[in-house]
Each structure stands twice: as C-alpha cells, then as structure tokens.
C-alpha cells in the first residue's frame, strides 16, 4: 500500500478534496491476443471498479490522475491522457452499491461523501502489462488485469467509461502509440494484427495488413522465432522509434 494515500481503511478526511469532482483511470494492456483492463476489487465485497479517486484543492488534475493511479494500483506510468468527462446526473445510480457500503466497515464513513453528485474525468493509458505489476491499496482486495471480454459488472457507470475509452482509441489510433505501448519489444506480425483487431472489433485481411505496415517503414525485421520448421517460424519485428514517432505526429492513416 502506498503510505501517502489520503484514503485508508481506518481514516477518511475529505476536507482537502474538491467536492463533486473525481477521476477514473482506464489502463489498458494486451496479452495473449486480448485487450485487458486494470480493475480493483473492494475489500469484503464483490464490487469491482476502475482505479479512481478525488482531486486535492491545490492540485492540477493531471497530477491528481497520476497520484490516484499510483495510490490505487501501485503503478507509475509515463503518461495519462484525458479522454472524456462524464457528467450524467444519474451516473452514480447505475450500480446500487451505497446501501451495501453502509454495512461495510471499510466504506461506511465514505457513504455521505459519495452520495453527492460527482462529475468524473476519464484518464487513459496504454501499457505493456507484462512489465506492469499492480498491487491493491488499503480499500482493495485485489488490483489485477481482466480480459476485456471477461469484464464483470463494474461500479456505477465504469463499464460505459471503458467503452468510451475504447471509442477514443479507435478514433485516435493514427496519433496514439498503440503498438509501441501495448506490444513487447519484439513481436510477430500476427501479434500486431491481433492487437488492431482487438481494438477495432473486426477481422483484418492478413496480407493487406502486413503489406501496409511494412510499406510505412517503421518496422525492423529480426530473426525468426525458434521452434518448429524454419519455413513455418514467423519473423520477429520491433519499432524504428524515430520513424514511428514522426508518423504519429503526421497522423499517418494506418487503417485508412
């Protein structure tokens, strides 16, 4: 547990926080051909949620997002990007949890604070989940990666927040370091295609995908993977970082 966290199982002090404002973080990884979402599970409860929290009165929102994520998950990430503000009047009625929290010794003090209306800003980050080892805070039993297609019911409107984050990635793929952020240092072309298919939610033609990616010139080809017949083993690839970043600045249409 991060000892600097303003929330603990035994103490709650809301006087330093901005009332009615919160932050929810959508942290996305990719492994075994699937997108994964970082999710916390609260103590003594089946309630699962995105890592989130509140903004200090003297704190920049971007700094608050990084602090909250570190406190809730133990992760320090190179970037977090705002992607949407969620302000529906009834957004916190989507999951009836407050009554349950009133009987939960860890959450009882928070109920009166949480019963007010909150407008939440969503923050997004894409990470190599193989290099990111989350850990739960004092209010959480677990903090772990869950495949997108296996997500359980989430707190309040958090499932909508996840959906909106994916829509944002789909709309901004030409400007976001999707491959470099989510793939390992070396990967196969199949891995890369599966990543795009997972984000876009549709199948892509293998030959066309490979030709387009190679034509853009940001991939380096390495030796083939070991194991099996050499004629069947796929080549490994990595990114030419400078070329890749320059293409992102221009918004090259990978999928156009």
CATH code matching the domain that covers 17-173, chosen among 3.40.50.2300, 3.90.79.10, 3.10.180.10, 3.40.50.720: 3.90.79.10
How far is 234 from 226, CA to CA, in rounded Å?
Answer: 9
Residue 134: name the closest of 119, 147, 144, 121 by CA.
144
| Residue 230, pLDDT score | 53
| Residue 3, pLDDT score | 38
| Residue 9, pLDDT score | 46
Per-residue pLDDT in tens (0 to 9) along the chain, 256 residues:
343 444 444 456 788 999 999 999 999 999 999 999 999 998 878 889 999 999 999 999 999 999 999 999 999 997 899 999 999 998 887 566 667 777 766 666 677 788 789 999 999 999 999 999 999 999 899 999 999 999 999 999 999 999 999 999 999 999 999 999 999 999 999 999 999 999 999 999 999 999 999 999 999 999 886 655 556 789 999 999 999 999 999 887 555 5
What does the domain layout of the chain look like in residue ranges?
A: 17-173, 177-250
How far is 134 from 197, CA to CA, in rounded Å?
Answer: 26
| Residue 1, pLDDT score | 37
Residue 22: name the closest of 158, 156, 121 by CA.
121
CATH code matching the domain that covers 177-250, chosen among 1.10.510.10, 3.40.50.2300, 1.10.10.10, 1.10.287.3510: 1.10.10.10
Give, as one character, the DSSP assignment of residue 92.
Answer: G
User: Can you give the pTM of this predicted structure?
Assistant: 0.90
Residue 130: name the closest of 31, 38, 196 by CA.
31
How far is 41 from 203, CA to CA, in rounded Å?
Answer: 33
Among the residues of 178-254, which ranges form H helices? 178-182, 189-200, 206-216, 241-250
| Residue 4, pLDDT score | 41
| Beta strand pairing call for 119-126 and 17-31 | parallel
How far is 130 from 181, CA to CA, in rounded Å?
Answer: 11
Q: Which two tokens stand for residue 27?
A: 């942290």
Q: Which two tokens stand for residue 93?
A: 């009625």
If one counts every other C-beta atom within 10 angstroms of the C-beta of residue 192, the result is 19
Contacts of 3 (CB under 8 A, 6+ apart): none
| Residue 110, pLDDT score | 74
């Amino acid at each position: 547990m991060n000892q600097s966290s303003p929330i603990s199982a035994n103490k709650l002090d809301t006087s330093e926080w901005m009332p009615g404002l919160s932050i929810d973080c959508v942290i996305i990884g990719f492994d075994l051909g699937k997108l994964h979402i970082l999710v916390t599970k609260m103590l003594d409860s089946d309630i699962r949620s995105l890592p989130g929290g509140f903004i200090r009165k003297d704190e920049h929102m971007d700094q608050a997002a990084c602090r909250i994520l570190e406190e809730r998950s133990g992760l320090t990430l190179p970037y977090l990007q705002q992607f949407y503000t969620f302000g529906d009047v009834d957004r916190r009625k989507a999951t009836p949890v407050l009554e349950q929290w009133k009987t939960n010794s860890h959450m009882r003090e928070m109920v009166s604070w949480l019963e007010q209306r909150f407008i939440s800003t969503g923050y997004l980050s894409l990470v190599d989940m193989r290099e990111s080892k989350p850990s739960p805070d004092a209010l959480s039993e677990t903090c772990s990666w869950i495949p997108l297609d296996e997500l359980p019911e989430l707190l309040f409107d958090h499932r909508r927040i996840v959906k909106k984050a994916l829509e944002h990635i789909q709309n901004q793929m030409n400007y976001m370091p999707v491959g470099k952020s989510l793939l390992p240092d070396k990967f196969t072309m199949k891995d890369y295609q599966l990543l795009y298919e997972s984000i876009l939610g549709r199948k892509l033609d293998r030959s066309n995908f490979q030709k387009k990616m190679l034509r853009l010139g940001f991939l380096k080809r390495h030796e083939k993977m070991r194991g099996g017949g050499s004629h069947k083993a796929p080549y490994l690839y990595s990114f030419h970082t400078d070329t890749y970043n320059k293409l992102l600045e221009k918004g090259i249409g990978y999928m156009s």
